[in-house]
Each structure stands twice: as C-alpha cells, then as structure tokens.
Amino acid sequence: MTLTLFLVQMLNGLQLGILLFLVAAGLTLVFGVMDVINLAHGVQYMLGAYLMVTATALTGSFWLGLPLALAAALVLGLLLERLVIRQLYGRDHLDQVLATFGIILFVSEAVRMVWGSAPLAIPMPQALSGSVRLMDGLNYPVYRLVLIGAGLGVAGLLYVLVTRTRAGMLLRAGATNAPMVSALGVDINALFARIFAFGAMLAAFAGAMAGPILSVEPGMGDNLLILAFVVIVIGGIGSMRGAFVAALLVGLIDTLGRSFLTDILKLVMSASAASAAGPALASMSVYVLMAAILFFRPRGLFPAPA
Amino acid sequence: MGFKGLLASTALLGTLALSGAAAADPVKVGLVSTLSGPSAVLGQHMRDGFLLAVKELNGKLGGQPTEVVVVDDELKPDIAVQKVKGLLERDKVDFVAGVVFSNVMGAVAKPVTANETFLISGNAGPSTIAGAGCSPFFFSASYQNDQNHEVLGKYAQDKGFKKVVLIAPNYQAGKDSLAGFKRYYKGEVADEIYTQLGQLDFSAELAKIAAAKPDAVFTFMPGGMGVNLVKQYRQAGLADTTPFLSAFTVDETTLPATGEAALGFYSGAAWAPDLDTPANKAFVAAFEKEYGYIPALYAAQGYDAAKLIDSALKATGGKTADKAAVRAALKKADFSSVRGNFKFNTNQFPIQDFYLVKVGKRPDGKVETMVQEKVFSNYGDAYAEKCEMK
C-alpha cells in the first residue's frame, strides 16, 4: 500500500464524488425548494446518457452532441413537470413517491423500447482519449480528469447562480417560504417548472458525461439515485453547499473503503475472514457514515434555514 | 412482454392456419425468458434463438403444429413461479423451455418437474439441479454453471500463470465463479476482490490490480458491470500488459457496447459464433439475417433447446402423452447441435467441448468472440455423480 496508490485512490474518490454531486444537486434543489421527493431523478440521469448516445450519433461529435442532449433533457424535464410533477405539489410524500416511481417504470420501459436493452456506448471525444501515467502500470484517462474539472466548474457556476443572481435569490426564497414568495407576486409555478427542468438537466449532464466511461444501460441510474439520497440527507436537504461537501465525502469514503478496508482487516483477522468481511463493510460504509452524521446532526451538515 | 409473446404465438398460429394443420391439438411450449429490466438482452437472445428454430421448422416441432407462449420472468423468482403456474394450469404446455438466470430456475424447476412437465433449460444450470436435486423431467440444453469458469482456471494453469488477481461481484454466483476458477488453477491468488453487485466504476479496483502486478486477471462480471470493467480496464492501460480472462463478461450481448475495447480479451464457452460446424454456420447466418445482430451463446442454446424438443417429438411421432417415451427420446439428443459434439450425461446435463475464446474482429469489422483452443473435450460436470437418476 504505497503513497502513490493512496493518492490515486483519493483521485478516484474525488471523481465519484463529483459525479454524485451532479446528480444530488438537482435532487436537493427539487426536494429542498419544491418539497417533492423525486425518485425519478435516477431515470433522468439515465435519460441524459441515452439522449447523449443519440445526439453524438446524429452529430458525429461529442461537443455538438452535448448541448443537444442537454437541451432535449431540459425540454423533457419541462414536459414531465407539466404532465406529472405539477399535480404533486402540496400532496403527501407517499403520493409523490408512488407517482415518481411510476415514472421510473414508464421511462425505463420506454427507453428499452426505443434504444433496446443491450448496453450502449458513447464514444470518448478524440481530444480527451489520452491518458497520463500516474503510477507504475496504471494509466489515468485524461477524460476522468476533465470530468472532475467539469464537475467543479458546474459546482462553481451553481454557487454563483444561487448566491449572486436574481434567479438564485428567488430559489432561496422559495426554499424558505414558497407561499410568501407567491404572495409577493412571483409566479411560483413557473419558478418550480424551471427548477425542476434545471435539475433534470443537471442529472442529464451527469449521465452524458459519465457515458464514455460507464456503459449506458436501462437501470444505470438506480444505484446512483440511492447514493444521491444519502448525499442530500448527509448534506442537509435543500443545501447546495451541503450536497457538494457530502458528495465528496461519500465518494471518498466509498472508494477508500473499497480499496483498503479488506487489507486493513487482514492485519487483525485471518485472510479469508477479511476478504468476506471487507467488501461487506465497505458497501456499508457510506450508510454507517450517514447514520453517524444524522446522530450528531439530525438535519445534516448544512441544514437549510427552516 | 405479453404483447410480444402474443405476437409471436399469433404469428405461429397464423402459419398453422395456412398450412391447414392436422386436427390434433398443437404442441405447446412455454418459453420463459428475462425480457425486461437491465438483463433483458440475454433473454432477448435466447427467445430469438428459440423462435428462429421454430420458424425454420415452419412453425412445427416434430412435424406437429406448435404454439410457443413466451413469458417474461422479469428476473423475479416469485413472478416467474406465478407465470409458470399459468403456463402449466391454463395453457397446459407440454414443455417449458428457457430460463436465463439460476435464481429463477431455482424457483420454477420444482413446480414444473413436479407437474411432470419437461423443463428444457436454455441457460441456467445450477449445481443443485445437476447434483442431488436432478429430475427425470429436467434437461439442460446449455451447460452446468461452474464449467465456463473452470475453462479459464484450466487455461491459466496450463499457461503457467504464476500470480493472478480475481475479481467478481459480492454475491453467490460471484463466489461460485471464483471457486470454479480455483478448482483448476493452483498458482498464487494475489488478491480476491469482491465488488458490489451493480457497481459501475472500477477505478479503485483497477488501481489495486495495477499495484499487485499479476500475470493475469480473472473476472466474472455479467451485463453492464462487465461492459464498464472492460472499457475501464482498457482505458487504464492494463489491457496491454495483463491478459484479461473472463466468464460471461465479454460475449455478443456486451460486445456491441464495449466494441474494440474488448479486442484480445478472453472468455470460456462451449460455443462461439465462428465455431466451425455446418449447423452453426447456417444458424449464425440465418440469425443475423433474421434479427440483424450477432447471436450470443444464449441464442445458440435457445436454438438448440428448440431443436432438441423437435428431435424428441419426431421420435415419438409427435405424441406427448407417454412421458417415458418422450424422456427416452430427449435423452438421445438426436439433433445436430450448433456446438457439434453434444450428448447427455446421467444427470441430463450435456457432455460437450469447451473452448477458450478470444474477442476478435471479423472481416466486416464487427467484433465477436472467436474460438482459440479447445480446453476440455467431452466434458461433463462435477455434480453428475451426486445425481442418483438412472
């Protein structure tokens, strides 16, 4: 277990964290501002990847395909808000869970009918397909570094958007007291629709960016959605800053747990017991983290003002 | 599912009506496959393979008009049992065929065989059914689960690899896979990495592999997990230094997604699209013409399952009532399998050859698995002796 290996694993954790942040950001926006539990956020991530498959195939270029896919995701987000989500404002959370779960089933099946059930691929942009040698025998794809950069860029952009612009101000106001914002003459429905579509676009961006390194397949968003919920609960529901910190935390804990827990356990127990317990503990680690944080800070690391 | 199933059966019924079939009741086959969810592509291959065989036989098995009822098990054992009960009680099928996944097979095998209906596996071959739990009504047209892993273990041993890293998802089939590999591989296992089921990013594991510097890597990563692992293994530069041995990871269901990233990767199987038998050449050509994609082993096994039923019904003159006669006819395996060498063991699982296959490029630029060398000849599984059936 050398220092280089440790640093490489930190980098891997960072990259997973960034991906999680992109998904969790939209989720926490919708949950925090609109008080809607959107289980369908995972399929929006998946949809983003599929739209990207089609967009890159149509345009023949990653860079032309990306804005096209994002625009399509935005439109689909608006459509979904109009058709389904709008009926759910102010309803019971159980209703929202049921309805958005229905969306999962519907979209997954629709995706399967349109694109088929075999996993698909998004070609990596030529300019970014190189790699850097980080340690002996292991190349680190440049694309992954770009993914980290893009994620950080989006995080910065969101920060400016939320704290420095009028739209961000409305968004924060909406999170604090939506009826009051509405009473002050802001068209709250239009605001909600935009937030929802923007969240959908963020998820789609994550899916589109993840496409070249991951396989594009039905159900690809399911696991990520659970982690994204863990992230927003740890970070404090509705808090963008919380989502960012929590996403990096979860990414690092998960990756470091997967890479080193078995070896660490081998120091204190037999090899076979360690290789049985290690992976089990590693997959539990983020949930243990969540439980611990909720014990000390029941409303998350950065609770949104009540 | 229901719609496609209906479509398939109505299409077949249509051909019957045209041919003005004999008055006898049609032979009914229930085809159970996984047709929704992330793993649906495996079930799609199997269904298409089976239906192709029926179509080539003009909608008849054993010369009898045949109705195929396709059902989707959704990869959920409880749902599979419900649907299979429907096949047995409502449709009164003569055969149940298919089943991609072992957990589904574990759930449906009992209800089908207890009903004295023949169950022809198109893929799943769990050790329980191959061993003590064998049944006179169960036939496997595929393989026993351990065998494909054993092929790679044997190859790694013969090749003299001194140190390997094993990586598989942390669930029963993953553990069985590594155990199967180690049954023949006696060298050093530098690391056994268990990953979460459904994991998509393997960067942490790949860094560990690079640090361990093994002679080869063996993995079992079905479906999308395998696609990701293959692509990331290539991107990490490990493909150039460390041979990638795998089972159920690189095949024609995942190659469309991995493409050339998988070139040169190894797998173990009883069949590959380029396997040189006359029956196979005809099958692959017909399949690609009909469906527009390269068949995977699931398709080949589905095709063989239909041919097996056809051969048995031919021998009984199309009669299905005399179960003993049907069983005796099935046991003969009197059909030309796309795998060439094919006969049944005492546990009614196949005795066949297994090959090391390698991903290569066809002249038309598409990638598929290609036979490299025969690793096992006339190979039966390790569980047959535990089966007390005669």
Range of the domain at A215: 3-296
Position A118 pLDDT exceeds 80: no
Residue A68 lies in a domain: yes
Question: Among A263-272, B163-172, B205-214, whose mean pLDDT is lowest?
Answer: A263-272
- Over the stretch A131-171, which tens digit does the pLDDT of each residue have? 888 777 778 888 989 999 999 999 999 989 888 998 888 88
DSSP-derived secondary structure for B39-88: THHHHHHHHHHHHHHHHHTTTEETTEEEEEEEEE-TT-HHHHHHHHHHHH
Position B263 pLDDT exceeds 70: yes
- Name the residue facing A118 among B41, B236, B238 (closest C-beta): B41
Position B20 pLDDT exceeds 50: no
Position B78 pLDDT exceeds 90: yes
* Between residues B17 and A177, the one the model is more confident about: A177
pLDDT at A293: 93
Section B353-378 average pLDDT: 94
Please give the Cα distance from B1 to B35 (Å, whole number). 7
**B203 with A278: Cβ contact below 8 A:** no
Position B356 pLDDT exceeds 80: yes
- Name the residue facing A214 among B193, B194, B200 (closest C-beta): B200
Residue A267's Cβ-count burial label (10 Å; 0-12, 13-18, 19+) is: exposed
Position B10 pLDDT exceeds 60: no
pLDDT at A201: 94
- Which of B33, B54, B52 is CA-nearest to residue B44? B33
pLDDT at B16: 44
The ipTM assigned to this model is 0.80
Section A46-59 average pLDDT: 94
Position B18 pLDDT exceeds 70: no
* Average model confidence (pLDDT) across chain B: 90
Section A51-61 average pLDDT: 93
Number of A/B CB contacts below 8 angstroms equals 139
Residue A67 lies in a domain: yes
Q: Which residue of A has its CA nearest to B205?
A: A259
Question: What band does B230 get if pLDDT is binned at 50, 70 and 90?
Answer: very high
Helix ranges (H only) for chain A are 3-34, 41-59, 62-83, 93-115, 142-164, 166-176, 178-183, 188-210, 222-235, 240-268, 271-296
Please give the Cα distance from B211 to B157 (Å, whole number). 22
Please give the Cα distance from B279 to B237 (Å, whole number). 39
Q: What is the CATH number of the domain that holds A31?
A: 1.10.3470
**B194 with A119: Cβ contact below 8 A:** no
Question: What band does B19 get if pLDDT is binned at 50, 70 and 90?
Answer: very low
**A213 with B207: Cβ contact below 8 A:** no
**B204 with A255: Cβ contact below 8 A:** yes
Question: What band does A1 get if pLDDT is binned at 50, 70 and 90?
Answer: low
Position B223 pLDDT exceeds 90: no
Question: What band does B151 get if pLDDT is binned at 50, 70 and 90?
Answer: very high
Position A30 pLDDT exceeds 50: yes
Residues on chain A touching B193 (C-beta within 8 angstroms): 262, 279
Collapse the DSSP code of B332 into the 3-class scheme (helix H, G, I; strand E, B; otherwise coil) and give the result: helix
Question: Among A27-31, B29-33, B295-299, B323-327, whose mean pLDDT is lowest?
Answer: A27-31
Collapse the DSSP code of B266 into the 3-class scheme (helix H, G, I; strand E, B; otherwise coil) and give the result: strand
Residues B40 and B34: beta-carbon distance below 8 Å: yes
**B207 with A5: Cβ contact below 8 A:** yes
Section B61-89 average pLDDT: 94
- Which of B239, B217, B205 is CA-nearest to residue A262? B205
Crossing angle for the helix pair A3-34 and A222-235, nearest 10 degrees? 80
pLDDT at A239: 85
pLDDT at A174: 81
**A279 with B207: Cβ contact below 8 A:** no
pLDDT at A276: 78
Residue A166 lies in a domain: yes
Question: What band does B4 get if pLDDT is binned at 50, 70 and 90?
Answer: low
Position A75 pLDDT exceeds 50: yes
* Average model confidence (pLDDT) across chain A: 88
Say whether residue B366 is in contact with chain A using an 8 A CB cutoff: no
pLDDT at B390: 63
Question: What band does B1 get if pLDDT is binned at 50, 70 and 90?
Answer: very low
- Which of A173, A209, A216, A210 is CA-nearest to residue A191? A173
- Over the stretch B282-317, which tens digit does the pLDDT of each residue have? 999 999 999 999 999 999 999 999 999 999 999 999
Taking every pair of Cα atoms in chain B, the longest distance, rounded to a whole number of angstroms, is: 70
Please give the Cα distance from B315 to B327 (Å, whole number). 11
Residues on chain B touching A262 (C-beta within 8 angstroms): 193
- Which of B381, B368, B387 is CA-nearest to residue B267? B368
Residue A216 lies in a domain: yes
Of all residues in chain B, the percent with pLDDT exceeding 90 is: 76
Where do the domains of chain B lie, and which CATH numbers do they carry? 2-143+276-344 (3.40.50.2300), 147-269+354-384 (3.40.50.2300)
Question: What band does B338 get if pLDDT is binned at 50, 70 and 90?
Answer: very high
Residues on chain A touching B208 (C-beta within 8 angstroms): 5, 259
Question: What band does B23 get if pLDDT is binned at 50, 70 and 90?
Answer: very low
Residues B386 and B131: beta-carbon distance below 8 Å: yes
- Which of B209, B214, B213, B210 is CA-nearest to residue B161? B214
pLDDT at B17: 43
- Which of A216, A116, A114, A55 is CA-nearest to residue B292? A116
- Name the residue facing B257 among A118, A135, A283 (closest C-beta): A118
Question: What band does A283 get if pLDDT is binned at 50, 70 and 90?
Answer: confident
* Between residues A118 and A30, the one the model is more confident about: A30
- Which of B304, B261, B335, B319 is CA-nearest to residue B53? B304
Position B14 pLDDT exceeds 50: no
Section A190-219 average pLDDT: 90
Please give the Cα distance from B263 to B246 (Å, whole number). 13
Say whether residue B228 is in contact with chain A using an 8 A CB cutoff: yes
pLDDT at B279: 94
Please give the Cα distance from B354 to B378 (Å, whole number). 8
pLDDT at B24: 59
Q: What angle do CA B7, B13, B19 make, to 5 degrees?
A: 140
The interface residues of chain A toward chain B in range 270-289, judged by CB-CB distance below 8 A, are 275, 278-280, 282-283
pLDDT at B2: 46
Please give the Cα distance from A134 to A23 (Å, whole number). 28
pLDDT at A274: 82
Question: What band does A18 get if pLDDT is binned at 50, 70 and 90?
Answer: very high
Say whether residue A163 is in contact with chain B using an 8 A CB cutoff: no
Residue A304 lies in a domain: no
- Over the stretch B102-127, which tens digit does the pLDDT of each residue have? 989 999 999 999 999 999 999 999 98
Domain count, chain A: 1
